[in-house]
Amino acid sequence: MVDDSDLVARLQAGDEQAFATLVDLYHAPLLRLASTFVPSRAVAEEVVQDTWLGVVRGIERFEGRSSLKTWLFRIVVNRARTTGVRERRETPTDQPEPTVSPERFNAGGGWSSPPAPWADDAEDRIVARQTAAKVARHLNLLPERQRQVVVMRDFEGLPATEACALLGITEANQRVLLHRGRARLRNMLEQELGKG
């Protein structure tokens, strides 16, 4: 694991290898996040390239009030929002929407058939990789805000408070969007796998 403070110091000193390390560490996550704001991978690539230029120009002003990762994510979110390619849409939180089919529960509120635990053997890991590829495909079908929250929380591991700050939403809205996004992904996977 690379130490943020050391990397920032090297970046601020103009160390090109430090910049290459930063790109290696964060290019894919930044691209994944930018893709949740813009309509195509090509536009997402432009946003990320613009982000890297912003990093080069702004690293001297980085004060360490957030993690380096959060700072990078803030830049990419701001750049993606200013592209004007896609109008911002909010997912309403007041419309009732079932997240799990009621048939999945018994009269007492418990699972009719509980989710099966995943074993740790090699065959299950292969299936898990295939499932991850399916999740990535279905992720693009989620509404924009749900996709953004799921990517930030589940793919990038950001805490709720940082995701809220980056998206300018409340913690309650973030929880609803995350829950609905996860539920939609689960439902899409179940339908694809014939278990819905």
Residue 83 pLDDT: 77
Same domain, 180 and 135: yes
**What is the pTM for the complete model shown?**
0.64
pLDDT averaged over the chain?
A: 83
The per-residue pLDDT for range 84-105, each reduced to its tens digit, is 444 344 334 455 566 667 777 7
The residue among 70, 50, 77 whose CA lies nearest residue 8 is 70
- Residue 92: the pLDDT is 47
For residues 75 and 127, state if they share a domain: no
pLDDT of residue 103: 75
Residue 111 β-bridge partners: 105
- Is residue 109 a part of any domain in this protein? no
User: What is the four-CA torsion angle of 58, 60, 65, 67, rounded to 10 degrees?
Assistant: 70
The DSSP output letter for 1 is -
Is 108 inside a domain boundary?
A: no
Strand partners, 54: none
- CATH number, domain containing residue 60: 1.10.1740.10
Q: What are phi and psi of 105, to 5 degrees?
A: -115, 150
Residues 23 and 76 both lie in one domain: yes
* H-assigned helices in the chain: 4-12, 16-35, 41-58, 68-82, 122-139, 144-150, 160-167, 171-192
Which structure tokens are listed for 155? 């793919």
In a domain, 125, yes or no: yes
In a domain, 133, yes or no: yes
Collapsing DSSP to helix, strand or coil, 111 comes out as strand
> 112: pLDDT confidence band, cut at 50, 70 and 90?
confident
Report the CATH number at residue 175: 1.10.10.10
Residues 73 and 22 occupy one common structural domain = yes
Q: Check whether 106 has a pLDDT greater than 70.
A: yes
The predicted model gives 108-119 an average pLDDT of 67
Considering the domain boundaries, does residue 128 fall inside one?
A: yes
Residue span of the structural domain in which 8 resides: 4-82
Most confidently modeled range among 33-42, 100-109, 122-131, 161-170: 161-170
Average pLDDT for 56-68: 89
- Other C-beta atoms within 10 Å of 60: how many? 9
In a domain, 171, yes or no: yes
Examine the fold and report which residue of 82, 100, 127 is the final residue of a domain before the chain moves on.
82
